[in-house]
Structure 1
Amino acid sequence: MLDDIRAALAKDPALRGVRSAEVLLYPGLWAVWAHRVAHRLHRLGVPFVPRAVSQWMRAVTGIEIHPGAVIGRRCFIDHGMGVVIGETAVLGDDVMLYHGVTLGSRGWWTDGGHVDKRHPTIGDRVVLGSHASVLGPVTVGDDAMIGAHVLVVRDVAARATVRAPASVTVAPAVPDQAAALEYCI
């Protein structure tokens, strides 16, 4: 738990000085800690309870981590609302996820029925930007950076950076100045 707190303090610039105590209010920490309990119970074959812990933590934090997922040391989920980590996902050490990240499967219709590995494997020191989705049994190599709003469905090499295309602003066609002013109001 202390490793997780130290990781959050190191990675979040908002946690400086007297505000560093606020780390204990971070939902990402609580979700990871509860997951560690649920995961142990899941591995022991305890029925119902691991999933109940997972769903309770989802209701409390907005972060859903299946008890079967494997999460390495010092995982930091910043602004975690909407994070989903699937059953067969594996995360390495020192991974950082922002809000809205999905580590999911591509769907039962593409899995070809029941398969053992449906979710991604994330290497060590990987950063996953806001609303990034990594789907299927793909591997993201160590030290990769996945940008915001990126959809990953193929393996990503170690140390690679994956970015989504930037949005383009298109100005409306306004025939005259009066119409332009009316448009702005």
Structure 2
Amino acid sequence: MNGAEKKRSFFKDAAYNIKRTMELDPAAHSKLEVFWLYPHIKALGFHRIAHWFWVRNHTFIARWISNIARNWTGIEIHPGATIGRGLVIDHGMGVVIGETAVIGDDCQLYHGVTLGGTGSVHVKRHPTLEDGVYVGSGAKCLGNITLHKGAKVGANAVLLKDVPAYATAVGIPARIIEKK
């Protein structure tokens, strides 16, 4: 994604997200199972609705919808976040995606991931994940940083700086360990 929201179909995105989940999760047995039982599918559906209200400046209803989704799924996505298609949030409990976060297409997050902000000023203060980014369990990506295309962040890492394309970051604070 280039920052501008793409015009997409709600149902085509949902079908694509289910397809990606089936490809990435060996425990998924059917599309029906993924649709009805996988929390990230519900969270992303609610987010699309909440985001629609958010961009039209109906912030109260947007936040209300996102709170319902958080309570139901354990995944907190701020309605201001911009999310591409194909996001898979595996074992999503405790995932937090902040207001100015931007997530590209075909990214993957695991449980306990935080895409958090730094500071209290109303500017871009959350991470940008370009297409194909992977963030491991418990990782904290904080601030206005960019995880470039195909970047990977290891489990429990605390990331405070940009990650180059196809590089891997691990540790506290995170450091680049390999770039392919």
Q: Which residue of 2 aligns with 1:23?
A: 34
Distance, in Å, in 2 between the alignment partners of 1:10 and 1:144 is 20
Find out whether 1:105 has 2:117 as its counterpart: yes
Distance, in Å, in 2 between the alignment partners of 1:31 and 1:123 is 20
Q: Matched residue of 1:48: which SS?
A: helix
State how 1:44-63 maps to structure 2 within 5 Å.
44-63=56-75
- Considering only CA atoms, is the larger Rg found in Structure 1 or Structure 2? 1
Which of the numbers 1, 7, 11 marks the counterpart of 2:24?
11
Point out where structure 2 has 5 or more consecutive residues left out of the alignment: 1-13, 173-180
Find out whether 1:122 has 2:129 as its counterpart: yes
State how 1:72-87 maps to structure 2 within 5 Å.
72-87=84-99
Distance, in Å, in 2 between the alignment partners of 1:37 and 1:47 is 12
Aligned-pair CA distance for 1:163: 2.1
Per-residue CA deviations over 1:50-76 (Å, capped at 9, x if unaligned) read 000000110001100000000001111
Q: Which residue of 2 aligns with 1:174?
A: none
Per-residue CA deviations over 1:151-185 (Å, capped at 9, x if unaligned) read 100010000011237xxxxxxxxxxxxxxxxxxxx
Point out where structure 1 has 5 or more consecutive residues left out of the alignment: 109-113, 166-185
AA aligned to 2:32 is A
Distance, in Å, in 1 between the alignment partners of 2:31 and 2:81 is 29
Aligned-pair CA distance for 1:115: 3.8
Q: Which residue of 1 aligns with 2:11?
A: none
Instruction: Give TM-score, length-normalised by structure 2.
Output: 0.84
Distance, in Å, in 2 between the alignment partners of 1:148 and 1:123 is 19
Report the aligned-residue RMSD: 1.2
Q: Matched residue of 1:56: which SS?
A: helix
Aligned-pair CA distance for 1:87: 0.2
Aligned-pair CA distance for 1:79: 0.5
Find out whether 1:151 has 2:158 as its counterpart: yes
Distance, in Å, in 2 between the alignment partners of 1:149 and 1:161 is 13
AA aligned to 1:105 is G
AA aligned to 1:155 is D
> Would the alpha carbon gap of residues 49 and 115 (structure 1) be closer, same or farther in structure 2, given more than 3 Å must change?
closer
* % identity of equivalent residues: 49
Which of the numbers 45, 50, 62 marks the counterpart of 1:33?
45
More strand per residue: 1 or 2? 2
